[in-house]
A and B are shown apart, each in its own frame.
Chain A
Amino acid sequence: MAKTIMVVDDSASLRQVVGIALKGAGYEVIEGRDGVDALAKCTGQKIHLVVCDVNMPNMDGITFVKQFKQLPLYKFTPVIMLTTESQESKKEEGKAAGAKAWVVKPFKPEVLLGAVAKLVLP
């Protein structure tokens, strides 16, 4: 059975691009437009990994990760931050929030897939 990955990004084109890469590798993808939308979609289904942007309207990625990690079902679900931000201070915020990896956009599909394969839950 295909593993499910949640992609959270306010850019529809980026969600598409990430979705193409992940679906091509056999993953199922659910999308969130921002932190609020993504949390609303965490309704108990198994999510094997989250790929999340940082700068988003309504709820930014760091806040989303903090709240996502508070949900008992997703406590151990790994999160990869996928963002244009490359400042070390931001990375530290992501790490403190509970993210497992930080990938800077633009990314090569194989690079993202490598990180996903390394972190995705069994």
Chain B
Amino acid sequence: MGRRPVNNFTGLDSKILAPFGLAGAGALGTMVAGWSAWGWYTVLWSALLLAAAAWCARASGAALGGSGEADMIDNYLAGRERFGDAVLPIWCRHIENSRTQMEEAVADLAGRFSSIVDKLDSAVHVSSMDGKGGSSMPEVFAHSEKQLGSVVRSMKSAMSSKQAMLAQIKDLERFTRELRDMAEGVASIAAQTNLLALNAAIEAARAGPAGRGFAVVAQEVRNLSSRSAETGRNISNRVGLISSAILAASQAAEQSSEAEDKSMQSAEGMIESVLGQFRSITDALVQSSDLLKQESIGIQGEVGEALVQLQFQDRVSQVMAHVRENMELLPALLRDNRDRYVADQVLEPLDPELLLHELKKTYAMAEEHAVHGGSKHSAPAAAEADEITFF
């Protein structure tokens, strides 16, 4: 067979302890050498090797009572192969299941981030009313202030026109006073004419028959002066009526103007008050909107950082997939090892380099090579702009 017996330092059969020692030493060696470099999957490898050692030790012990060393070794190798066939697929399924769950959870998480960003964006647009076709609050306020200012100016212009009309009515009062003076003048002239005609009639009577014709003229003059006096009184009365009407109209217009002026001042005050309140609300809304925008920028920055962190799931997923694919090679390796024994009757130690070489071929990331080479694990920083390669 050409196999050297293994030293038995504890009194146990070396056939039991040889494979256990071999695999156990391999496991411990792997753990010690690989822990700092490979992290958690070093533990998996070590556990695998230890379990294989325990399995084969038990199988070897059982075989001792059987048909000799060849059967025992064959049983050991078959048991080791069965171990690989039984355990590895389950471990790999667990890894793949975890990887898939993590992938789905992170995808869902990223989707929720996307939804948050969209909703935040909508809230900012609505709060500032700067969406398509909309006006911002300051714009609405400025427009309203401009329109109300225009209304106030129109009202002031109307008031100014009324004041001009009132002045003209007051001018009419002056005219009516002049007319009354003129009517009084007519009455005075009529009275004097009447007195003159009376004197003429007296002088005509004194002249006797020669003055008879002149007496007729004097009577006619008296008649005319009476009619003039009557007309003067009539004019004076009419002018008095007109003057009273104008005075009444003027007083009414003045009262109306004063009332309108008060209303105007009141309306202007109310408009100022409403605009002031509106301005306060608008300023508060603008401040709130600005705050929301600032918070939004901050949150978007945080989301940007989260997006970088979420990408590490992809890297971890790839590493897990590479390790899983490598673990899946172990049963074939064990089978090949047994086939070699069956063919050549030579027990060959399992060579970790076979698997490690295959594992290395699957590496896509620089950190995998670094970790494999013994570097301490460190997550790479997100690529900066100057790290982009343009072709």
Contacts and interface: CB of A to CB of B under 8 A. Distances in A.
B314 A86 contact: no
Contacts, number: 112
B348 interface: no
A111 B103 CA distance: 24
Contacts of B330: none
A106 B389 contact: no
A111 B389 contact: no
A21 interface: yes
B107 interface: yes
Given A13-B310, A108-B308, A111-B383, A86 B103 contact: no
B366 A13 contact: no
Given A107-B383, A111-B382, A111-B383, A85 B364 contact: yes
Interface in A61-94: 83-87, 91, 94
A41 interface: no
A102 B310 contact: no
Contacts of B113: 20
Specify the main secondary structure of chain B where it touches its partner: helix
Residue in A14, A19, A83, A102 with the greatest tally of chain B CB atoms within 10 Å: A14
A17 B380 CA distance: 18
Contacts of A3: none
A104 interface: yes
Interface in A1-41: 11-17, 19-21, 23-24
12 contacts: A16-B110, A20-B303, A24-B117, A54-B364, A84-B315, A84-B318, A87-B366, A102-B389, A105-B311, A106-B312, A107-B308, A111-B387
Given A13-B109, A101-B388, 14 more contacts: A11-B107, A13-B107, A16-B111, A16-B114, A17-B110, A84-B365, A85-B364, A86-B366, A100-B391, A106-B312, A106-B380, A109-B308, A111-B387, A115-B388
6 A-B pairs with the lowest CB-CB distances in the bound complex, closest first:
A16-B110, A106-B311, A12-B107, A13-B106, A102-B389, A13-B107
Interface of A: 11-17, 19-21, 23-24, 54-55, 83-87, 91, 94-95, 99-111, 114-115, 118
